[in-house]
Chain A
Amino acid sequence: EAQVTQNPRYLITVTGKKLTVTCSQNMNHEYMSWYRQDPGLGLRQIYYSMNVEVTDKGDVPEGYKVSRKEKRNFPLILESPSPNQTSLYFCASSPRGTGEQYFGPGTRLTVT
């Protein structure tokens, strides 16, 4: 089944403890992206990648890192999480450069 998977789906952590949220797609898509969604603020893009080893900042990149070493994987790294990074995170992939994206199920992160 063609899909985007994220792990973990739920995570509660403490301030400053490094964490990684994994994202994987099995559709051979070149474009991948991370979004966060907060009440009243909608979906905001954190980072995106147009291909392996090519990443760029979205609207809200502060406090996040990404890497794209393989086409199928695009992990999101929080080196030192803070409570303002408590949010619902979505990974997405796209088959071509037109904006048609396929989203993962989401990761609900709580930082205390």
Chain B
Amino acid sequence: LAKTTQPISMDSYEGQEVNITCSHNNIATNDYITWYQQFPSQGPRFIIQGYKTKVTNEVASLFIPADRKSSTLSLPRVSLSDTAVYYCLVGDTGRRALTFGSGTRLQVQP
């Protein structure tokens, strides 16, 4: 199973761009990279998913280098409501079990 490594915590201020990097050295060819956001006592919420290069949606961007051994979630202009835990997940539900990493606790201050 692809193991992921993320920073335990990050601090930011409102209006800043936040980049959270996830390391996944043994990613498999068929694996996708998916990021989730979780607030206390709620289920994780899907943010963005990618396979290679760059993906952007209305809330975030995901940057994946050519070797796919890491990925970076970019949150533009964060607000207080972005304070949450962010998980990077590497895997493919079509073939096998999925393992979440420890997540990154993002604290946004005013």
Chain A residues proximal to chain B, CB less than 8 Å:
4, 31, 33, 35, 42-45, 48, 50, 56-59, 88, 90, 92, 94, 96-106, 108
A-B contact pairs, 24 of them (CB 8 A): A31-B94, A33-B98, A42-B87, A42-B102, A43-B100, A44-B100, A48-B93, A50-B93, A58-B98, A59-B99, A88-B41, A90-B43, A98-B32, A98-B49, A98-B92, A98-B94, A99-B90, A99-B91, A99-B98, A100-B32, A101-B44, A101-B46, A105-B42, A105-B43
Q: How far is the CA of A50 from the CA of B97 in the complex (A)?
A: 10
Residues of the B chain whose Cβ atoms lie less than 8 Å from the Cβ of A96: 93-94
Bound Cα distance from A48 to B94, whole angstroms:
11
From A33, A45, A57, residue with most partner B Cβ within 10 Å: A45
Q: What sequence of 0s and 1s flags, for each residue 92-110 of chain B, a beta carbon within 8 Å of any chain A beta carbon?
A: 1111011111110000000
Which residues of B does A touch, CB under 8 Å? 31-34, 36, 41-46, 49, 87, 89-95, 97-103
A42, B93: Cβ atoms under 8 Å? no
Q: How far is the CB of A100 from chain B (nearest CB, A)?
A: 5
B24 to chain A, nearest CB (A): 12
**Docked CA distance A72–B6 (Å):** 33
Check if A45 sits within 8 Å of B87, measured CB to CB: no
Given that A98-B92, A99-B90, A99-B92 are known contacts, is A45 also in contact with B44, CB under 8 Å in the complex? no
**Cβ A45 vs Cβ B49 within 8 A:** no
Q: Which A residue's beta carbon lies closest to that of B90?
A: A99
State whether A102 touches B94 (Cβ < 8 A): no
Residues of chain B within 8 A (CB-CB) of A50 are: 93-94
A106: chain B residues at CB < 8 Å are 41-43
In the complex, A74→B31 CA distance in Å?
A: 24
Given A88-B41, A99-B32, A100-B34, residue A59 in contact with residue B97 (CB < 8 A): yes
